[in-house]
Amino acid sequence: MYETTPSAAIRRCIPPVVLVLASLLPLSRAMGAPLAPLPGTHSFPNPSPSAPAAPTGISAVQQRISRGVTTVERDGRVLSVGIVLSGDGRILTALSSVGSAETADVRYSDGSVIHARVGHKDKAWDLALLVPLTGHWVDGLVASEAEPDAAELKSLLATRPGRPMIVSARYRGAVDVRAHEGLDDLQHVLDVEVQSNPPSIGAPILDPEGGVLGIFVRACQATLPPTPPPDAPAPTPQASAPCNPVVVAAPVSAIRHFLAHTPTTAVAPSPWLGIVGSTDAAGASHGVRVLAVAPGSPAEKGGLKGSDDRSQSDVIVAVDSVPIDTPEKLADIIAKHSIGDKVKLLVFGFDGRFREVVVALRPAP
């Protein structure tokens, strides 16, 4: 199988990086602890866009929180809040907000909207991990080491598409509930009240530094029937007690367990051009000389020619009007795109003429 660069093939042989939470080695509050020990983790290749300018009076913590949360939407309608996992870029939210659908849209604080798919889910804890199909940024939130009853808590409300609003929250204690479908017992969940409003599903519970203590999910709480009078007939046996819907917060321990069991396949597919290339600085046009073209690849369908013989191979000079001079730069530009994107290549052919080639990127076979 051909890769855009020879080094990409080497990278496929390296075991996946696993981001470790503070469950093994405690980290200081200042350092923070990555929220996601995800098997198969790899940061999105494109650098994070510059943070939107903070309005006057907005603190660094508020800016970090704003950048680390999203709204999860469908057809422009807000479904829930989503948490960007720090250093990873995948989105944690409540599964019940997404429903049975496998896709949703994610809107960041800069207004950008990308498509995402559900890569991992847990019906009991009502958690879902969304995998963006386009890299955006990996700046996100980290796990808190504070106790919920010892911190001044905050959460977020999302009433419309765009940046959620930061609001105060109050911890009322730990409770035992059932999964929102009523089948599994969930112990020691966080009962948290949000100021003046019902909680937003998927929103994080945050300590004063913006660390995550939990995430709002749907559950249900069993209710006991009223005690009948002494002379009343025996009640009809029931399989289970009635269960009233409630919104509680899954604690960090449940989130860690959920993320630790993420499938290695829950990663964004990488766009593929399908060439092996090398730096060419000796010819009339500097760029990436095409040494080989994979059968059936976007490069082959675009008519690119590759060969060890310089007189029989094309040189890619620019991608979308951005000059390139190394295979690594070519790979970086291609990786910033999504599957299905069309890119325009400026090619210097072995016939001594320039031509434009438009290719539609696809996943590698």
Tens-place pLDDT, residues 120-165: 999 999 999 999 987 788 889 999 999 999 889 999 998 788 778 9
| Domain span at 193 | 142-226+240-250
Cα separation of 336 and 334, whole Å?
Answer: 5
Of the residues 215, 250, 285, which one is the last residue of a structural domain? 250
Q: Which helix (H) or strand (E) holds 333?
A: helix 327-335
- What is the arithmetic mean of pLDDT over 176-198? 89
On whether both 218 and 316 belong to a single domain, the answer is no
Quick one: 355 and 301 in the same domain?
yes
User: What pLDDT does 150 receive?
Assistant: 85
Q: Is the pLDDT of residue 93 over 70?
A: yes
Q: Are residues 285 and 245 in the same domain?
A: no
Q: What percent of the chain has a predicted confidence (pLDDT) above 70?
A: 79
289 inside domain: yes
Do residues 291 and 355 share a domain? yes
Which CATH number belongs to the domain containing residue 214 in this structure?
2.40.10.10
More confident residue, 14 or 183: 183
Question: Are both 245 and 286 inside the same structural domain?
Answer: no
d(CA 193, CA 184): 23
Binned at pLDDT 50, 70 and 90, residue 27 comes out as very low
Which of residues 271 and 71 earns the better pLDDT score?
A: 71
From the list 194, 175, 176, the residue with the least C-alpha distance to 185 is 176
Q: 210 and 278: one domain?
A: no
The tens digit of pLDDT for each residue in 229-267 reads 677 676 555 555 678 999 999 999 999 999 999 998 898
Question: Residue 8: pLDDT band by 50, 70, 90 thresholds?
Answer: very low
Residue 324 has pLDDT above 90, yes or no: yes
Question: Among 38-42, 43-47, 155-159, 290-294, which is the least confidently predicted range?
Answer: 38-42
Asked if pLDDT for residue 48 goes beyond 90, the answer is no
Q: Phi and psi (nearest 5°) for 98?
A: -85, -30
Q: Where is pLDDT greater, at 345 or 54?
A: 345
Determine, yes or no, domain membership for 61: no
> What's the chain's Rg over C-alpha atoms?
25
Separation CA 96–CA 289 (nearest Å): 50
Q: Residue 74 falls within a domain, yes or no?
A: no
For the chain, the average pLDDT equals 81
* Type and span of the H or E element at 358: strand 354-360
How many angstroms separate the CA atoms of 123 and 184, rounded?
A: 9
Measured in degrees and rounded to the nearest 5, phi and psi for residue 286 equal: -75, 145
What's the CATH number where 356 sits?
2.30.42.10
Task: For residue 94, tell me if it sits in a domain.
Answer: no
Over residues 185-196, the mean pLDDT reads: 92
Query: Into how many domains does the chain fold?
Result: 2
Report yes or no on 328 lying in a domain.
Answer: yes
Do residues 207 and 284 both lie within one domain?
no
Over residues 213-234, the pLDDT tens digits come to: 999 999 998 775 556 667 767 6
User: Does some domain include residue 162?
Assistant: yes
| Residues linked to residue 130 through DSSP beta bridges, in sequence order | 91, 118
Report the chain's terminal Cα–Cα distance, integer Å. Answer: 7
What is the model's pLDDT at position 257?
95
Residue 195: inside a domain, yes or no?
yes
CA–CA dist 136, 154 (Å, integer): 26
Task: Note whether 294 and 246 are same-domain residues.
Answer: no
Query: For 26-35, 67-76, 152-161, which range has the lowest pLDDT when averaged over its residues?
Result: 26-35
Tokens in use for 74?
A: 């469908």
Long-range contacts of 182-189 (CB under 8 A, 24+ apart): 182/220, 182/240, 182/243, 183/124, 184/124, 186/124, 186/125, 186/219, 186/248, 186/250, 186/254, 188/251, 189/214, 189/219, 189/248, 189/249, 189/250, 189/251, 189/254
DSSP 85: B
In a domain, 10, yes or no: no
Residue type at position 156: L
pLDDT above 90 for 316: yes
Q: What is the mean pLDDT of residues 15-19?
A: 28
Quote the pLDDT of residue 15: 29
Residues 151 and 246 in one domain: yes
Residues 6+ positions from 259 with CB-CB distance below 8 Å:
35, 36, 37, 38, 85, 92, 120, 129
For 302-341, letters b (16+ CB in 10 Å) and e give bebebeeeeeebbbbbbbeeeebebbbbbbbbbbbbeeee
Residues 244 and 309 grouped into a single domain: no
Whether 36 shows a pLDDT value over 70: the answer reads: no
**Predicted local distance difference test score (pLDDT) of residue 284:** 67
Residues 245 and 146 in one domain: yes
- 7 pLDDT more than 80: no
279/241 Cα distance (integer angstroms): 70
CB 36 within 8 A of CB 86: yes
Task: Band the pLDDT of 288: cuts 50, 70, 90.
Answer: very high
123: buried, middle or exposed (CB in 10 Å: 19+, 13-18, 0-12)? middle
* From 112-121, 306-315, 334-343, the region with the lowest mean pLDDT: 334-343
